[in-house]
Amino acid sequence: MIYSFVPTGTATGPDWEYRIERNGLFTPWVEWSAELIFNMDPDGGDFRTGILYWLYARNALIPDNEPGSLGKVLVAPFEITESNRVVSGSPGGQVDIGTGSLFELIAAATDTEVGLALVTLFTKAMANPAYKKIICDFMATCDTVVTPEPTLVFINPVDYEAIPVVTVDSIDVEILDADWEGTDGDSIDVEILDADWEGEADNPVPTVNHHQADQLITASGDQHYDLNADLFSDPGDSQSLIVRQVVDLATTTVAALPTGVSFGFDAGTGLRRISVASGVSDQVLNIWVSDTDSAFQSIWDIHKLTINRAQARQLADTSWATHSNDFSFNFFTEEGGPSDGYAFIGSAGTWSWSTGQLCQTNTASSADQRMLQFTTGGSQNSLNADQALCLLKPTAFTTDSRLGLGLRYGSAASDGYYFGLKDAVTIQFVHNGVGIGPTASFATSLNTWYYLRLKYEETGSSTAKLSAKIWNALQAEPDAWTMVWEDQPRKAGYPVLSGGFNGSKGCFGPWYDAITLAP
């Protein structure tokens, strides 16, 4: 490996110059530049690791007797580690630099062995006062100009920037001549400074591999849940996880987890775990999990944690509902009964109103569709509504349950877009009367309340997009849509509730308040 570094900090910029010393062997002085890189030992070879080096810095514009001037050269010890880190060195004793001109003569020796021998001899001679006087007197009689011995100002810690050795698959070449047009026969020579470079793969950025699902805690006492073992993917590299709460989703501003919520490692399962103490109050948290690899590249994933030990139903977002081009299924009057302006369509089955719920009670096995359609009599502009919300409780599943809601249905229930439960573990889209749409995994339970939201958007002169989401009514609404169905034909029609198909059944409740509905 080729080790290298550049000087950084205050002693950098125009008019500064530097040299490196090891055991009395010096490099020539070099001027600062933006491209300056030290990657060579004073003997002309590679830097050595675990060896004490000295960096000298001076500036001719600094007044004499000021640190950094020609008379007070800055000097600092450093060492290079095996991982190409530049760390502050630890000299073993007092360093007597001696006469600068003689050092320069030694450093200029063309034969490395002669240079090293002179360094050793000179170092020992300078340690003896008598020999030192002879050497200094002799130097004073030479024809060469002897620079006065500078005062060395030692600085610590060392202010350097290590330059890591990076292996890449390809090299980008920048053409500095704006007029160069690359005519036939032209070529570019690229010099690879790292002799060991073989074009190996760059360190890839980690990715989110398995998004963490939103979490719900309703039980009392200390609770916890484990993060997905494969939440992030970064093959062959290390992972360093940090967990915080997001306090501003728009800017992804994060802060420490609230008191009582903690992140740790479970030795029994080998998984990373988020724990919630018994005293944590009911609240909704956006949990931010970050993964940083060995190259300090980061990625993060965000999921919601709803703490709802009171098991109060959470209100869904209705800020979008204008009752002009958006529609929500508010089919309950203030007196607690179904509102006017709806009609049963399809093979209606048997609907029953009780305890604030409208339920389908027929479990006949025939292939009937039990739907409740809303017309302009029940809600303003429900014709061609482009968004709908419902609160659903499944009470019986089949393999094709069709418990949910729909948009743009005709009066005969033969055509329209449906989203809802297919069975206990699957949700689906259906273009009623035309074909089955995509499905996704989502586990649901009988006699448990869920919110479902469906949105219709026209994306072209003849196409539309359907977006849908489903979530437990005790949880906060997820930010992302659960499913999206693109490139469907544009349609006109009314919203519906689908109370079951082929023997399944369910109940619908009012979505607009936080009342507790009996299971």
CA distance 382 to 380: 6
pLDDT band at 383 (very low <50, low <70, confident <90, very high): confident
pLDDT in tens, 471-502: 999 998 998 999 999 989 988 888 888 888 88
Mode of pairing for the β-strands spanning 232-233 and 271-276? unpaired
Residue 424 makes CB contacts below 8 A (sequence gap 6+) with: 394, 397, 443, 444, 445, 446
Q: Given this model, what pLDDT does residue 157 score? A: 40
Q: Is residue 303 within 8 Å of residue 213, measured between CB atoms?
A: yes
Burial level of 487, CB count in 10 A (0-12/13-18/19+)? exposed
pLDDT in tens, 23-63: 888 888 988 887 788 888 888 888 888 888 888 888 888 88
pLDDT band at 433 (very low <50, low <70, confident <90, very high): confident
Burial level of 475, CB count in 10 A (0-12/13-18/19+)? buried
C-alpha distances (whole Å) from 452 to each of 343, 418, 441 are 21, 11, 15
Q: Given this model, what pLDDT does residue 394 score? A: 94
Q: What average pLDDT does the segment 103-126 reach?
A: 54
Q: Is residue 43 within 8 Å of residue 112, measured between CB atoms?
A: yes
Q: Is residue 190 within 8 Å of residue 171, measured between CB atoms?
A: yes
Q: What average pLDDT does the segment 296-304 reach?
A: 91
Burial level of 176, CB count in 10 A (0-12/13-18/19+)? exposed
Q: Given this model, what pLDDT does residue 163 score? A: 41
Q: Given this model, what pLDDT does residue 269 score? A: 86
Domains, in order of start, for the chain: 5-97+150-162 (no CATH), 207-307 (2.60.40.10), 342-509 (2.60.120.560)
Q: Is residue 423 within 8 Å of residue 399, measured between CB atoms?
A: yes
pLDDT band at 181 (very low <50, low <70, confident <90, very high): low
CA distance 52 to 484: 63
CA distance 96 to 186: 56
pTM of the model: 0.54
pLDDT band at 357 (very low <50, low <70, confident <90, very high): confident
Structure tokens at 455: 């949105």
